[in-house]
C-alpha cells in the first residue's frame, strides 16, 4: 500500500510539474496577462532643458532654458553613502530630444533639467539611455540627481 501511495504521489507531482512548465500553461498565463503591444509612457509634464556645450557652461536659473519638452518623472534609486542619503530620478522623454551627460570629458559640462517647468526643482543629467531602441515605443531614460537651488518649501 505504501508503494502504491508513493507511486501515486510521484505521478501526480509529475503531472503538476508538466502542466506548470509547458507551453500550454505559459500560453494560458499570457492570455490572462497580455495587455497589448508595448507602448510609450505618458509624458504628462512639461520640462525645461538647459544645454551646455564645450566652453559654454549653462546653469539654471541664470540663463534662459534652451527648450521645453514633454516628459515624465519616475522615482529612481535611494543612495546611502558617507555624505547622507540621496535620491536619483529618472526623467523619461521622447527619443528625438537632444539631451546628453558630460560630453568630451568633464570640461564640456552637463545638461540641466527643471521638471516640472516652473517648479524650481532642478536635476543634473547623469546618464542617458535609449529604451526600446529599434521599436515603435522607443524613448529616452535620463538618470538625474537633484541640483541646487532647491525650493523651500518643496512644491
Q: What is the DSSP string of 109-146?
A: ---EEESSTTS--EEEEEEEEEESTTSTT-EEEEEEEE
Rg (CA), the chain: 25
Return all residues near 34 (Cβ < 8 A) that are at least 6 apart.
Answer: none
CA dihedral 114, 115, 121, 125 (to 10 degrees): -60
Identify the H or E element spanning 136.
none
Average pLDDT score, the chain: 77
Give the model's pLDDT for residue 23: 57
The model's pLDDT over 50-61, given as tens digits with 9 standing for 90+, comes to 887 655 666 666
Give the model's pLDDT for residue 57: 62
Q: Which of 90 and 21 is assigned the larger pLDDT?
A: 90
Amino acid at each position: 500500500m505504501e508503494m502504491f501511495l508513493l507511486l501515486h504521489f510521484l505521478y501526480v507531482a509529475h503531472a503538476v510539474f508538466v502542466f506548470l512548465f509547458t507551453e500550454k500553461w505559459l500560453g494560458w498565463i499570457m492570455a490572462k496577462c497580455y495587455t497589448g503591444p508595448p507602448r510609450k509612457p505618458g509624458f504628462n509634464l512639461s520640462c525645461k532643458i538647459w544645454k551646455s556645450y564645450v566652453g559654454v557652461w549653462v546653469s539654471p536659473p541664470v540663463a534662459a532654458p534652451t527648450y521645453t519638452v514633454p516628459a515624465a518623472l519616475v522615482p529612481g534609486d535611494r543612495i546611502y553613502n558617507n555624505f547622507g542619503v540621496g535620491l536619483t530620478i529618472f526623467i523619461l522623454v521622447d527619443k528625438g530630444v537632444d539631451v546628453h551627460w558630460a560630453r568630451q570629458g568633464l570640461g564640456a559640462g552637463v545638461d540641466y533639467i527643471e521638471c516640472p517647468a516652473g517648479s524650481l526643482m532642478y536635476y543634473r543629467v547623469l546618464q542617458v539611455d535609449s529604451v526600446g531602441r529599434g521599436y515603435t515605443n522607443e524613448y529616452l531614460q535620463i538618470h538625474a540627481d537633484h541640483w541646487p537651488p532647491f525650493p523651500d518649501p518643496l512644491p
